[in-house]
Structure 1
Amino acid sequence: MLRQYELVERVKAYNPDADEAILNRAYVYTVQKHGSQKRASGDPYFSHPIEVAGLMTELKLDQETIVTALLHDTVEDTLATIAEVEEFFGPEIARLVDGVTKLSKIETLTENERAAENLRKFFLAMSEDLRVLLVKLADRLHNMRTLHFIKSEEKRRRIARETMDIYAPLAERVGMYEYMREMQLLAFEQLEPEAYATITGRLAQIRNEGGGQVDAIAFDIKQALAEAGLQVEVVGREKHPYSIWRKMSERHVTFEQITDIMAFRVITETVDDCYKALGVLHQTWQMIPGRFKDYISTPKTNGYRSLHTALIYANSMRMEVQIRTHDMHRTNGFGLAAHWAYKQGGVKPDGQVAWLRDLIEIVDASHDADELLEHTKLAIYQDRIFAFTPKGALHQLPKGATAVDFAYAVHTDLGNAAVGAKINGRHVPLRTQLANGDVVEIIKSKRSGPQLPWLGFVVTGKARAAIRRGVRAKERQEVATIGSKLFDEIAGRIPGRIGRKAIGAAVRRLNLKDEEDLMFAIGSARLTDRQVMEALVPGSTDELPDDQDWPRQEQAISIRGLTPGVGFELAECCHPVPGDRIVGLRRPDQKVEVHTIDCMSLANGVDADWLDLSWGERTTGAIGRLRLVLYNRPGTLAEVTQIFARNRANVANLQMIQRDEPFGTYEVDLEVSDLAHLTRIAGSLRASEAVADAERI
């Protein structure tokens, strides 16, 4: 553990103007506050914040960050308060300490909810000041270094999993690769102990058997570059054990089948020397196609810059080589932390802004704990591709990202308005996955909006959050429209005219936000007719019996602009289409379920409010289902699909139900405009020589 004078000397070594008094005061404060508290290792608890502060000095961070590291657990684990911290150390440090302070465990919440709430607070604080993240990562790294002292295996594994899922990817996203690798290694040891022991054992065996093989290869690389007039440093090492295990898992190969276990770093003086060194290495040893990456011309989001290549050495041995300058090497080890060093004047690096903004948007949009965790993990994992706008702006996305993900990466409004895409000048579906270097043009329409099916193929957290937020808003609007029409009926049963004043009073009595909230509550069956009447005119239901049978609607509610799956759901049992007589089933906090009036599932009665519905104009998205019996011979399906095309019907789903020679029975879902359209298609099918029978389901 660092002594008080040692910590101060470390800070003074890179910041001679540091305030010794505040550093000494913070050191004494944390020792006094944590007092006799002990860690699982048996060490005094205050040794932990002191070691975290020591990690911050290694990054040469400002004195406010060092003091924050010393105090980061005092508010949570002692009687100290944020107000007291502000009184003794000032508002800036109090703000940083509050941002880093972990939430107390809330036993009534699930593990996911606890994690989600910690993340929510963490990202919001982090967006205001990156130093919150730097202290938190150092806090987690030191806790991982002492994790083996915790007796409970379940608790060790839980902490390790959280580290692997959240903190290691976060360290990668801000370029702190040294922290990331150590966190992954320590978490890997807890999560996969047998694999960890096997891989580290095999690496030790190779190290012993190979004698000085790594040093010999490093010498050969350095000599080849020296003969070309390049003075460089070459460092060799085995690949990270967790990296080896992940490659084994993803490729389903054994340890012996992994051929590029050795990796080397070539450190040059200038950027020009990086490219010269690359040329020399490619001329000296055969390069492996597809393994070259230029992160100097196109840096990663976190500022990482380097040339990556893979070569075949003697005896078909494969090796990875990274080439970078001394400055890149320093930045690549500790990323954005290096930019926050005291010598840089504490200026926020621009690289953090974009992805932090995305994370905050995800936090704001997330509906529940599981959604937040899902979106956040998607947003911070590291496998990336690069794509360009037509004007040349570069965007980084996860592997597997689609045109919709790209649209939302450019701007949320562009994603919401997307109706099509061009990739490299060619029209493609929105679900098309992007490749490195693609030029993507998004085609938009003011009338469009986020579509529920997009959730089936987007991969970025930002896109998922925006789509869900847009769909929820549309659903709320549609349900509120239903509620508004039901409100008119309810108000019509009360003697006298109901004005704006009465509605405002009802909103207040029901503890709702506004009139729209009232209509949504009615439409979603959160309020009964009796409750609404009583809120509008207190006492208006006193003389009504509790089992009052309310009169049915005099007029059908039109579901104009119906969007299946949003505010309404078209029942799977009867597949209603415009032209059918329909009825709606309304249950609390569920979408209105639309059935045909003669649907067999309604025959025995259902426990729900019945709404008399009618189809509005310009209704879209209705699906009609037909059962087809086709002759089992070549060309039959082709002829049927031509009938669909001639009738302008899009096939949503086609499935064979049974084969009974010489026939095949199929069920087909068709997007149709109305009942007449579906009937016309069925008639065309029956007239075909390829179709034995066609009937609506």
Structure 2
Amino acid sequence: MAENTYFTEAEKEEFIVAYKALIRTSRTLVGATDFLRIRKWIAGAIESGNYLRDKYGINILLRNINTALILSKEVGLERSTLIAVLMYNVALSEFLSMAQIEKEFGSDITKIIRGLIKANSLYAKQATVESENFRKLLLTFAEDVRVIIIMIADRLCLMRMINHHPNQKFREDIACEASYLYAPLAHRLGLYSIKSELEDLSLKYTNREIFDQIAHKLKETKRARDQYIYEFIEPVKKKLEEAGLKFEIKGRTKSIYSIWNKMKKQKADIEDIYDLFAIRVVLDTPESQEKADCWKVYSIVTDMYQPNPKRLKDWLSIPKSNGYESLHITVFGPQNRWVEVQIRSRRMDDIAERGLAAHWKYKGIKSENGLDDWLNNVRDILENAESGPMELMKEFKMDLYDKEVFVFTPKGDLYKLPKGATILDFAFLIHTGLGSKCVGAIVNGKNQTIRYELKSGDTIEILTSPAQSPKQDWLNIVSTSKARVKIKQALKESQFKEAEFGKELLQRRFKNRKIEMDEALMMRLIKKLGFKTATDFYYALASEHLDVNVVFDSYLELERKENEESTEQRTAENYVQPYREEDTTKEDVLVIDQNLKGIEYKLSKCCNPIYGDEIFGFVSTQGTIKIHRVDCPNATEMRTRFGYRVVKARWSGKQGSQYVTVLRVVGHDDIGIVTNITSIISKEKNISMRNISIDSNDGLFQGHIAVMVDDITALNSLIKKLKTVKGVKNVERMQ
């Protein structure tokens, strides 16, 4: 297909295996003629230099072949999707025009390729998705569900390929994005095996120690686990055969990522986690007989082993919105261990493994109304949301993962909402105007307030009032992203109108006194009064939380002071203010990036780095560099969202001025304990206390002490000494 020089020996071997496997698995979808044409165009693109490696050294052809293989094996899509994956880079490099590809392969394939090119353009500058690009990316996905499925498969392929990649930051960025974007989307589309592998590989690249620890433990316990599964399965197998059922029964170990989540949730070691695996019964039965046979298996298993009724999950009666159908039960097995048993038909198992794509095989894509509803909801959220990508995903995930309730209108129309949704959520789901005017509802013939939590089977008639309007506390009542977005929009519109009135009120006061308002001076006053935005300030005026006369007098006072300061020489320039961010360009205490010195930087207040801390730089929107500790609570989000703005930083070896840090001290509220603490600090050379606040409750005290220190060594020494004070239980540095 290409010259030998295009591949390394290992890549060539991998390519031949993948290519043969793809032909085997896809010959019913993509005929020999199509494969010959695809080979011809890709070979031509390679020979002309239009099909090279990417900037990270990844072999693009190998990546595309393996992505197509994942789609063919684990998703099972149709001809258009597979050809689009293979021809995508030929189109992207413009070796062939879109018109030529359409002539060769058809319009459906060019439609998918255009979606992929549009999504790819959002990654052109950097791998991390920016806020606006993130929104556009998901909207691109929502235009054609096949684009999102291809990109999920491609991300899995890339995750497999970068195991030994030398660029650690590249690996971490790809892993983080897979975890917070692609794995949740794979989950929503029912691609569970892909979702599990994405999560496992993400954990492997971001927390190798934990991944290896769990993998090693699973390997160690494999024999005992296999033996237990055998002991559990054999008697069940015998009973099912006696009942005349055709089936397959097997044990499946849970993914490393899900085990890690369980360990965190239960705060337990892996030895204390019992349900490391699930037993699955897959029935070979006609579709008309599926549910009856599944319940027959349920009856047989629960006769043999005691079930836990609280952990029964019935997705036979009402399937999940992504098409998932199965019956999950948890029973008390041998050795007094709880075991999860999943019961489903072969058709259900296919859908469980391949998700919505498998529905095309059984029912055709047009029947997937649930998917259309979901994609419409995605568009609605993305087009209206103003928050950043992480916040968007938080709202997005809420509708993806939560269990659902099914409710009815008085006419009998069925609606689906996440568990925990209220009457207010339902009203906004029907129509924004209905939600904005909602005052309650008649549920099953009884009056209920807007806070009423919906239950499956409820019949709901919304009650409205023309005098009603959205309130701030409504955000605490609703749980769906659509309702939250609409309420926020309404509140902002209302606040903006009120703010305009407040601004007019203040301007009239200035006009009456024949004084011209200086906008710049007014903005300084607004900031001084503690308001984040001018809208908040003018809204406070309109709602009478601020007195217009007081504001007017404060403006005149500030104007007088600034005029005086401009004519007098300042006499307190060297006064120390520990919490002020100071430019540190005068001293080469830090080396930014490689060997750059003398660059303007500031020490971030969110983590207060001091000399000796492990640090990194972050380029702000103003162009200055803020220095953060590596363990800063905001570090992960900065690296994930804005990895391209992170720069290396280290201390140069030249000691700088003193640094502020805050210590949290907890202990018994004994007589003299505070005096003993402050006494130790005052005796320390080159350490001074700048501020102290103490809270006492039920014989315990908690203190926050701001101190100025030279470096991390001096700070650690002080912490060690404070821990020796009688009555002190803990001393720690605040983030």
Tell me the TM-score range normalised by the shorter chain.
Answer: 0.5 to 0.7
Of residues 166, 171, 180, the one that matches 1:156 is 171
- Distance in 2, matches of 1:607 and 1:20, equals 80
What pairs with 1:546-625 in structure 2 (closer than 5 Å)? 551-552=511-512, 587=534, 591-594=538-541, 595=544, 597=547, 603-605=553-555
**Cα 1:39–1:204 shift into 2, 3 Å:** farther
Does the 8 A contact of 2:190 with 2:323 survive in 1?
yes
Amino acid at match of 2:402: D
Of residues 139, 147, 155, the one that matches 1:140 is 155
Does the 8 A contact of 2:498 with 2:539 survive in 1?
no
**Cα 1:422–1:47 shift into 2, 3 Å:** same
Of residues 183, 208, 222, the one that matches 2:198 is 183
CA deviations over 1:483-506 (Å, ceiling 9, x no partner): 8x79xxxxxxxxxxxxxxxxxxxx
- Distance in 2, matches of 1:12 and 1:585, equals 62
CA deviations over 1:103-158 (Å, ceiling 9, x no partner): 446799995xx343443233323333211111111111111112323333333222
Of residues 28, 45, 61, the one that matches 1:46 is 61
Does the 8 A contact of 1:31 with 1:46 survive in 2?
no
Amino acid at match of 2:138: F
How far 1:249 moved relative to its partner? 1.6
Identity within the alignment, %: 28
Where 1:13 maps in the other structure, the secondary structure is coil
- Distance in 2, matches of 1:299 and 1:389, equals 17
**Cα 1:267–1:429 shift into 2, 3 Å:** same
CA deviations over 1:425-471 (Å, ceiling 9, x no partner): 66555345556666655433344333332223533322222222223
Q: Verify: 1:202 aligned to 2:217, yes or no.
A: yes
Q: Verify: 1:304 aligned to 2:286, yes or no.
A: no
- Distance in 1, matches of 2:127 and 2:387, equals 12
Of residues 254, 265, 275, the one that matches 2:295 is 275
Which residue of the partner structure matches residue 633 of structure 1? none
Q: Verify: 1:69 aligned to 2:85, yes or no.
A: yes
Which residue of the partner structure matches residue 440 of structure 2? 420
- Distance in 2, matches of 1:106 and 1:129, equals 19
- Distance in 1, matches of 2:500 and 2:150, equals 46
Amino acid at match of 2:397: L
**Cα 1:459–1:198 shift into 2, 3 Å:** farther
Where 1:149 maps in the other structure, the secondary structure is coil
- Which blocks of at least 5 consecutive residues in structure 1 are unaligned? 487-522, 530-548, 555-569, 574-583, 610-656, 660-697
- Distance in 2, matches of 1:229 and 1:553, equals 96
Which residue of the partner structure matches residue 483 of structure 2? 463
Q: Verify: 1:356 aligned to 2:378, yes or no.
A: no
CA deviations over 1:305-342 (Å, ceiling 9, x no partner): 0001000011211110111111111111111111235x
Does the 8 A contact of 1:260 with 1:318 survive in 2?
yes
- Distance in 2, matches of 1:374 and 1:173, equals 13
Does the 8 A contact of 1:362 with 1:375 survive in 2?
no
Where 2:76 maps in the other structure, the secondary structure is coil
- Distance in 2, matches of 1:173 and 1:245, equals 21
**Cα 1:592–1:416 shift into 2, 3 Å:** closer
Does the 8 A contact of 1:585 with 1:593 survive in 2?
no
Does the 8 A contact of 2:499 with 2:535 survive in 1?
no
- Distance in 1, matches of 2:548 and 2:67, equals 70
Where 1:340 maps in the other structure, the secondary structure is helix
TM-score (norm 2): 0.62
User: Which 10-residue stretch deviates more, 350-359 or 220-229?
Assistant: 220-229
How far 1:41 moved relative to its partner? 8.7
User: Which 10-residue stretch deviates more, 598-607 or 224-233?
Assistant: 598-607
- Distance in 1, matches of 2:440 and 2:309, equals 34
Which residue of the partner structure matches residue 535 of structure 1? none
Which residue of the partner structure matches residue 93 of structure 1? 109
**Cα 1:309–1:477 shift into 2, 3 Å:** same
Does the 8 A contact of 1:267 with 1:324 survive in 2?
yes
What pairs with 1:37-436 in structure 2 (closer than 5 Å)? 37-38=52-53, 44-58=59-73, 59-73=75-89, 85-86=101-102, 89-101=105-117, 102-104=119-121, 114-210=129-225, 212-268=227-283, 269=285, 270-341=290-361, 347=366, 349-370=368-389, 373-374=392-393, 377-379=396-398, 381-389=400-408, 391=410, 394-421=414-441, 429-431=449-451, 433-434=453-454
**Cα 1:29–1:349 shift into 2, 3 Å:** farther
Amino acid at match of 1:215: Y
CA deviations over 1:638-660 (Å, ceiling 9, x no partner): xxxxxxxxxxxxxxxxxxx999x
Does the 8 A contact of 1:384 with 1:396 survive in 2?
no
- Distance in 1, matches of 2:447 and 2:47, equals 67
Amino acid at match of 1:286: Q
Does the 8 A contact of 1:163 with 1:183 survive in 2?
yes
- Distance in 1, matches of 2:107 and 2:298, equals 50
Amino acid at match of 1:237: R
How far 1:297 moved relative to its partner? 0.6
Does the 8 A contact of 2:179 with 2:202 survive in 1?
yes
Amino acid at match of 1:64: S
**Cα 1:188–1:587 shift into 2, 3 Å:** closer
**Cα 1:292–1:16 shift into 2, 3 Å:** same
Where 1:46 maps in the other structure, the secondary structure is helix
Where 1:298 maps in the other structure, the secondary structure is coil
Which residue of the partner structure matches residue 688 of structure 1? none
